[in-house]
Amino acid sequence: MIADRLRHIHIRLADACRRCGRDPASVLLIGVTKGVDADRMAEAIRCGLTDVGENRVQEAREKQAILSGTGARWHLIGHLQRNKSKPAVEVFDAVHSVDSLELIGVLERDAAARRKWLSVFVQVNVSGEATKFGCAPEEALRLAQAVAACRQLDLTGLMTIAPLAESPEAARPCFQGLRRLRDAVASSLSRAPGELKLSMGMSHDFEVAVEEGADIVRIGSAIFKGQGA
């Protein structure tokens, strides 16, 4: 069942890429595994899932102990409190939810102590919703500059979560906003836009995200619950 869902998602990803003239291989699929048990995660990995995304540090740590040796890459996509920085650095290969200078500082300190190179995304609250984490768009450059100045943190890109709506099209302005912001940040850092990745799009709107330039999509329910497929 998981194999069928993954296959269908890859077909939809490829179709979305073709509509905008992109190579499907340029889009990374992260399987969101919040609340998904290790057995189902292992099945998805056996079916070709290479990257998993968790919302909570402790849940990821427990699953990683079971799934060690699978070769999966682990992404933190949920909000990270500063006092969880050390275990987050131990568990994850990438953190998509960096939204403050203070968090950047403790991640740099803990990554240095572990002598680990950590991939970091600045999370931006493009929609301005009070219920969402992420920095304001006007703060994104300052945070990106701070990450770029770190020795142990790799500024990999920007991340956002679009407002949940009945129509996936409603998310398009949010994705367009993050793409424009990414281009501006890259220019300010004298980097090519493609050097900074866009982490955006979930089960209900990932095709629109791909059309607007997403390099990474985060899909959970369409893989593990059969929703959004």
Instruction: State phi, psi for 103 to the nearest 5 degrees.
Output: -65, -40
The alpha carbon of residue 40 and the mean position of all alpha carbons in its chain are separated, in whole angstroms, by 21
Is residue 208 in some structural domain? yes
Is residue 216 in some structural domain? yes
Mean pLDDT over each residue of the chain, to the nearest integer? 96
> What CA–CA distance (Å, rounded) separates 205 from 79?
21
Is residue 229 in some structural domain? no
The percent of residues above 90 in pLDDT, for the chain, comes to 97
Range of the domain at 131: 2-224
Of the candidates 223, 224, 208, 225, the residue with the CA atom closest to the CA atom of residue 167: 208
Is residue 172 in some structural domain? yes
> What CA–CA distance (Å, rounded) separates 28 from 90?
23
> What CA–CA distance (Å, rounded) separates 200 from 215?
8
Overall number of domains in the chain:
1
**pLDDT of 229 over the 70 cut:** no
Is residue 54 in some structural domain? yes
Reported as a pLDDT band with limits 50, 70 and 90, residue 226 is low
- The domain that holds 109 is classified in CATH as 3.20.20.10
Q: What angle do CA 88, 105, 152 make, to 5 degrees?
A: 70
Mean pLDDT of 188-199: 97
**pLDDT of 134 over the 60 cut:** yes
Per-residue pLDDT reduced to its tens digit, 23-46: 999 999 999 999 999 999 999 999
Cβ atoms < 10 Å from Cβ of 155: 26
**pLDDT, position 225:** 85
> What CA–CA distance (Å, rounded) separates 28 from 178?
17
Is residue 25 in some structural domain? yes
> Hey, what amino acid is at 19?
R
pTM score: 0.95
Torsion of CA 71, 63, 161, 94, to 10 degrees: -40
Q: Are 123 and 134 in contact (CB under 8 A)?
A: yes
> What CA–CA distance (Å, rounded) separates 156 from 126?
18
Cβ atoms < 10 Å from Cβ of 56: 16
| Residue showing tokens 């849940």 | 59
Do the bridges between strand 73-76 and strand 28-32 make them parallel or antiparallel, or are there none, so unpaired?
A: unpaired
Per-residue pLDDT reduced to its tens digit, 94-128: 999 999 999 999 999 999 999 999 999 999 999 99
Angle, in degrees to the nearest 10, between helices 38-46 and 2-19: 60
